Structure 1
Amino acid sequence: MTTIRNNPERGRFELLDADTVIGKAAYVDDAGSAQRIFYHTEINEEYGGRGLAGVLAAQALDETVAAGLSIVPVCPYIKKYLTKHRGYAASVVAPTPAHLEIVRDSLAQRVRR
């Protein structure tokens, strides 16, 4: 049985099989604008083909909207998911160069730790 949890300390929603992380939807929150920038989604290869990425994306996006945050889709998978699930349209903000800079800065800080 799989479960999904938000792990804000690691900046990602995690898909778990028991206690093992088998997938993630990584994000950076832009505190100054109440926006969550999704930049990477992946499911471990051995769990592929089961629709788990869609389940993960749905919960991550639902929780983001419920938290009052806008969705900034940088991740190709999240972008594609949003084109098929138009119910999120009112909560989507198109990515800008400033959003990409926020992601780059966040990733650079993680590498330095």
Structure 2
Amino acid sequence: MADVSLTVTDVPSRRRYEARDAGAGGADGTVAGFAEYMLAGEMVVFTHTEVDPSYEGKGVGSALVRASLDDVRSRGMVVLPLCPFYKGWIQRHPEYTDLVYQRPPSTATD
């Protein structure tokens, strides 16, 4: 990823985090990838991640997931990783499993 200088930011109006290549043309940089989400109370539901084909294999997806999860942690929220990329990434990085929503135990009695 040495040739890519990424900035990851939350873009609430588009309900997604964007990874922008600051080294690419334009004042804001080129969108190298994004992660779409929905908000449900204090939960961020990650639904889809996409990396521009010209940035594949350069660590954009990992940088996007790490930065977005760090942001969610700083806000005191939890995540529900419906996106397979997020789910797999979290499984490979156990230091983030505490962010994953855990359903409360059932209190129903028979």
Please give the TM-score of this superposition, normalised by the length of structure 2.
0.79
Who is 1:27 aligned against? 37
Amino acid at match of 1:89: T
In structure 2, the residue corresponding to 1:68 is in which secondary structure? coil
- Give the aligned length: 93
Matched, 1:6 2:10: yes
Who is 1:39 aligned against? 47
Who is 1:71 aligned against? 79
In structure 2, runs of 5+ residues without a counterpart are: 23-28, 104-110
The counterpart of 1:50, out of the listed 53, 58, 61, is 58
Cα distance in structure 2, aligned partners of 1:23 and 1:56: 8
Which structure features the higher share of helix residues? 1
Cα distance in structure 2, aligned partners of 1:94 and 1:45: 34
CA contact (8 A) 2:32 2:60 kept: no
Which contiguous aligned blocks of 4+ residues in structure 1 show a shift greater than 6 angstroms? none
In structure 2, the residue corresponding to 1:41 is in which secondary structure? strand
Amino acid at match of 1:93: Y
CA apart distance, 1:2: 2.0
Matched, 1:91 2:103: no
CA contact (8 A) 2:35 2:48 kept: yes
In structure 1, runs of 5+ residues without a counterpart are: 96-113
Please give the TM-score of this superposition, normalised by the length of structure 1.
0.77
Cα distance in structure 2, aligned partners of 1:24 and 1:91: 20
CA apart distance, 1:45: 0.3
Cα distance in structure 1, aligned partners of 2:85 and 2:102: 15
**Structural RMSD (CA):** 1.4
Matched, 1:62 2:66: no
- 1:14-57: CA deviations, max 9, x gaps? 011232212101111112xx000000011100110111100110
In structure 2, the residue corresponding to 1:9 is in which secondary structure? helix
CA contact (8 A) 1:65 1:71 kept: no
